[in-house]
């Protein structure tokens, strides 16, 4: 995952205010639900029915595998914060039938099937000596039995869900000491819950605990989202449907799992790093062989093999869906060629594996089944890569490639490599971006007008808002009765057309409500859970507005306490308000008294630089502070003005310069508009 936060640095956003009179607005059906989402049209229903002919829905092997080895299940699985707010609520998904066969017209039946599979939760025996907790968070936690205790793999996203899962495992497997924790990769849904494990360990266990991670883990785990965190966080509310109801017209799952747990995120520094494929360790009597796959799904990642059990842990190198080469919340593009190569290496290196389990979804058994699974996962990414590059070299644009590229029949039958999370469409665009960048070569795209200005000109040239609305309304009504593909293409066109009108006239409520109705239909038809959540969140915010609550960086305090302080200064540099800094020069020295580190911040030419220095380097002002107190200052737990006159920090030089300097830093709240200007 991701690449959660990470996509996941944001607070729970639960707004229930309704837009007055929305049922009478154009584009909103009279039977809209409480959040305003309209009923699926006839053409949407037809499109979703057609999906039933594209896959072998009568194959129930996945449901058997997902339920295999169940030891215990909590049917009322709830995890709450001390204030009573739920951060995990599995019963909220009980509207999905357990066999995934009764998809409503408002959900693509292939996505509904995946959502039903991801509803199957509890404690499972994968094979003797290996157990998994599934459905307590976006990811899985694996428990490997050693000679004297447990080896835990990927302790979930949040302290609260990890604690609940760990206690549930102890209840049914016994109270055994934890000898090691493995972080397979650097995304927060695989390490952020570690404090929920540590809080249950004895001091002796903690003192002797081995924490094993891939090389580069700490740097990657703590730096994700530091630079562009507020933007990623805001977009993640779309990708994971945070503001949507859990119902048949709202969020049904992420494809990768149900949803991220938005609790308290933690960190534990590794005691051992794995940097080379073929590295072998014996952990509490259990031999493991590691494969480094950094640069595939995560920038720091390993898989591993358990030769005694003939079990392969694929981490997130492979999963039961097509993954993202580009994640819609915003992230660096991943290299499909390298990713495919790592899967091929795993297929060969661990060819004797008789059990596969991963960081998401359910396991797979049987050597032939695993080899076939790995081959098709490998070839899915390689096909998208190779065919996209072929079309690039023929001059095709990203939109042309995304429209025409389809998986061949050999790769388009199995469910495990379908676009529940990534899609062929946006993954092909990611390959284009990786090699060619944003520019298609068409000079019209070199210097276009900003969206609002070009939208205003489009609207004027098309005869004004009233003319556009009348035509769009007619097309919208006609699309409902079209054949599935024609209806879908009409909705796609109306989304583009009405987006121009909304950006030209953001207060035009009639346009917003009609566009919301269009987004409803596109969301209902999407096989990809992130696409569905983006469309439906767009519809929600057109009706209800952007969120009032922003990000809550305090939930990341423990992670920030383990973040290299140089990253704090990188973050400060991208928050500098250039207009406020114009014409100003200043040097600020930060002495971290607990780290014996000093850094010089230099402001010049409306640019902020930083570098490590000796403690005696002169500066206009000096702040002497501990890292925990500096983190509290950054996340808003402590105020600068109050601190400057307290005994908790030391300073030299001008207090006024310090106040002026920190006053030049932007304070992004992560609640900006997306579907309106």
Residue 4: its pLDDT value, please? 35
What CATH number has the domain spanning 564-663?
3.30.1050.10
Residue 203: its pLDDT value, please? 97
In sign, the C-alpha dihedral spanning 363, 368, 369, 375 is: positive
Residue 18: its pLDDT value, please? 23
Q: Which long-range contacts (CB under 8 A, 24 or more apart) does 145-149 make?
A: 145/176, 145/286, 146/179, 146/180, 146/283, 146/284, 146/285, 146/286, 147/284, 147/285, 147/286, 148/176, 148/177, 148/179, 148/284, 148/285, 149/176, 149/177, 149/178, 149/179, 149/284
Return the CATH fold of 63-93+122-245+256-371: Metallo-beta-lactamase; Chain A (3.60.15)
d(CA 276, CA 44): 50
CATH code 3.60.15.30 region(s) in the chain = 63-93+122-245+256-371
Asked which of 282-296, 396-410, 538-552 is least confident by mean pLDDT, the reply is 538-552
Each residue's pLDDT tens digit, 175-233:
999 999 999 999 999 999 999 999 999 999 999 999 999 999 999 998 876 888 889 98
Confidence band for 669, pLDDT divided at 50, 70 and 90: confident
Residue 162 has pLDDT above 80, yes or no: yes
Residue 21 has pLDDT above 50, yes or no: no
Q: Which residues contact 300 (CB under 8 A, 6 or more apart)?
A: 185, 186, 213, 214, 215, 216, 217, 219, 220, 221, 294
Residue 638 has pLDDT above 90, yes or no: no
Each residue's pLDDT tens digit, 513-531:
999 999 999 999 999 999 9
Residue 14 has pLDDT above 70, yes or no: no
Task: For residues 477-493, give the mean pLDDT.
Answer: 97
Residue 7 has pLDDT above 80, yes or no: no
Task: For residues 116-125, give the mean pLDDT.
Answer: 98
374 and 346 Cβ atoms separated by less than 8 Å: yes
Residue 341 has pLDDT above 90, yes or no: yes
Residue 548: its pLDDT value, please? 86
**492, 495, 535, 664 from 515: Cα distances, Å:** 11, 6, 10, 39
Confidence band for 80, pLDDT divided at 50, 70 and 90: very high
Residue 308: its pLDDT value, please? 97
Each residue's pLDDT tens digit, 226-272:
888 889 989 999 999 999 999 999 999 999 999 999 899 999 999 99
CATH code 1.25.40.880 region(s) in the chain = 445-525
Each residue's pLDDT tens digit, 300-317:
999 999 999 999 999 999
When the pLDDT of each residue in the chain is averaged and rounded to a whole number, the result is 92
Each residue's pLDDT tens digit, 447-477:
999 999 999 999 999 999 999 999 999 999 9
Count of other CB atoms within 10 angstroms of residue 478: 13
Percent of the chain beyond pLDDT 70? 95
Residue 15: its pLDDT value, please? 25
Task: For residues 278-290, give the mean pLDDT.
Answer: 98
Residue 153 has pLDDT above 70, yes or no: yes
Residue 263: its pLDDT value, please? 92
Residue 646: its pLDDT value, please? 72
Task: For residues 326-341, give the mean pLDDT.
Answer: 95
Alpha helices in 106-187 (DSSP H): 109-119, 159-173
Residue 353: its pLDDT value, please? 98
Q: Which among 43, 263, 221 is positioned nearest to 136, based on CA atoms?
A: 263
Task: For residues 330-334, give the mean pLDDT.
Answer: 92
Confidence band for 667, pLDDT divided at 50, 70 and 90: confident
Confidence band for 13, pLDDT divided at 50, 70 and 90: very low
Asked which of 104-113, 596-605, 643-652 is least confident by mean pLDDT, the reply is 643-652
Confidence band for 615, pLDDT divided at 50, 70 and 90: confident
CATH code 3.30.1050.10 region(s) in the chain = 564-663
Label residue 299 exposed, middle or buried (CB < 10 Å: 0-12, 13-18, 19+): buried
DSSP 449: P
Confidence band for 550, pLDDT divided at 50, 70 and 90: confident
Task: For residues 84-90, give the mean pLDDT.
Answer: 94
Q: Which CATH number applies to 445-525: 3.40.50.1100, 1.10.150.20, 3.30.70.100, 1.25.40.880?
A: 1.25.40.880
- SS3 letters for 575-624? CECHHHHCCCCEEEEEEECCCCEEEEEEEECCEEEEEEECCCCCCCEEEE
Residue 224: its pLDDT value, please? 74
Angle between helices 367-392 and 424-435 (to 10 degrees): 60
pTM above threshold 0.85: yes
């Amino acid at each position: 995952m991701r690449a959660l936060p990470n996509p996941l640095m944001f607070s729970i956003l639960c707004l229930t205010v309704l837009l007055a009179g929305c049922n009478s607005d154009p584009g909103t059906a009279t039977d809209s639900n409480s959040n305003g989402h309209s009923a699926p049209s006839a053409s949407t229903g037809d499109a979703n029915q057609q999906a039933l002919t594209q896959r072998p829905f009568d194959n129930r092997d996945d449901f058997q595998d997902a339920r295999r080895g169940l030891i215990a299940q909590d049917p009322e699985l709830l995890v709450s914060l001390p204030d009573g707010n739920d951060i995990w609520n599995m019963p909220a998904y009980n509207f999905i039938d357990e066999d995934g066969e009764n998809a409503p017209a408002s959900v693509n039946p292939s996505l509904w099937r995946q959502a039903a599979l991801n509803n199957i939760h509890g404690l499972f025996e994968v094979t003797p000596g290996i157990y998994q907790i599934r459905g307590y968070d976006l990811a899985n936690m694996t428990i490997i039995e050693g000679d004297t205790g447990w080896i835990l793999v990927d302790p979930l996203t949040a302290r609260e869900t990890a604690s609940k899962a760990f206690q549930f495992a102890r209840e049914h497997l016994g109270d055994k000491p934890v000898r090691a924790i493995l972080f397979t990769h650097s995304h927060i849904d695989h390490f952020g819950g570690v404090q929920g494990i540590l809080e249950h360990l004895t001091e002796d266990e903690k003192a002797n605990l081995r924490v094993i991670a891939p090389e580069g883990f700490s740097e990657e785990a703590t730096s994700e989202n530091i630079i562009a965190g507020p933007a990623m966080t805001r977009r993640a509310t779309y990708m994971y449907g945070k503001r949507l109801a859990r119902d048949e017209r709202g969020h049904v799952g992420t494809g990768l799992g149900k949803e991220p747990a938005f609790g308290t995120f933690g960190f534990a520094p590794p005691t051992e790093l794995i940097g080379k494929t073929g590295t072998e360790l014996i952990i509490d009597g259990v031999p493991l062989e590691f494969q480094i796959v950094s640069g595939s799904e995560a920038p720091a990642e390993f898989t591993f093999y358990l030769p005694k059990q003939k079990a392969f842990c694929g981490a997130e190198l492979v999963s039961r869906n097509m993954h993202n080469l580009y994640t819609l919340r915003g992230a660096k593009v991943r290299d499909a060629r390298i990713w495919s190569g790592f899967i091929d290496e795993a297929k060969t290196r661990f060819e004797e594996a008789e059990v596969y389990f991963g960081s998401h979804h359910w396991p797979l058994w049987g050597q032939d089944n695993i080899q076939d699974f790995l081959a098709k996962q490998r070839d899915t990414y390689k096909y998208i890569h190779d065919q996209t590059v072929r079309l690039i070299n023929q001059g095709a644009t990203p939109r042309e490639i995304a429209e025409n590229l389809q998986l061949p029949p050999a790769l388009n039958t199995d469910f495990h490599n379908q676009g529940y999370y990534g899609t062929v469409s946006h993954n092909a665009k990611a390959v284009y971006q990786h090699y060619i960048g944003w520019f298609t070569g068409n000079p019209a795209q070199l210097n276009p007008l900003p969206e609002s200005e070009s939208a205003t000109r489009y609207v004027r040239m098309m005869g004004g808002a009233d003319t556009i609305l009348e035509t769009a309304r007619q097309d919208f009504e006609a699309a409902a009765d079209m054949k599935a593909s024609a209806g879908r293409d009409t909705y796609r066109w109306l989304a583009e057309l009405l987006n121009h009108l909304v950006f030209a006239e953001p207060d035009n409520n009639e346009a917003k409500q009609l566009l919301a109705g269009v987004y409803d239909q596109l969301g209902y038809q999407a096989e990809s859970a992130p696409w569905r959540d983006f469309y439906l969140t767009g519809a929600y915010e057109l009706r209800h507005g952007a969120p009032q609550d922003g990000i809550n960086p305090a939930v990341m305090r423990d992670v920030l306490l383990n973040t290299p302080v140089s990253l704090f200064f990188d973050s400060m540099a991208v928050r500098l308000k250039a207009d406020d800094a114009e014409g100003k020069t200043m040097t600020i020295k930060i002495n971290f008294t607990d780290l014996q580190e000093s850094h010089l911040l230099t402001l010049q030419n409306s640019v902020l630089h930083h570098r490590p220095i000796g403690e005696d380097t002169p500066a206009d002002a000096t702040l002497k502070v501990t890292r925990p107190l500096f983190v509290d200052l950054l996340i808003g737990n402590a105020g600068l003005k109050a601190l400057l006159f307290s005994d908790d920090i030391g300073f030299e030089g001008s207090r006024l310069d310090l106040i002026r300097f920190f006053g030049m830093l932007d304070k992004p709240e992560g609640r900006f508009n997306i579907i309106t200007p």
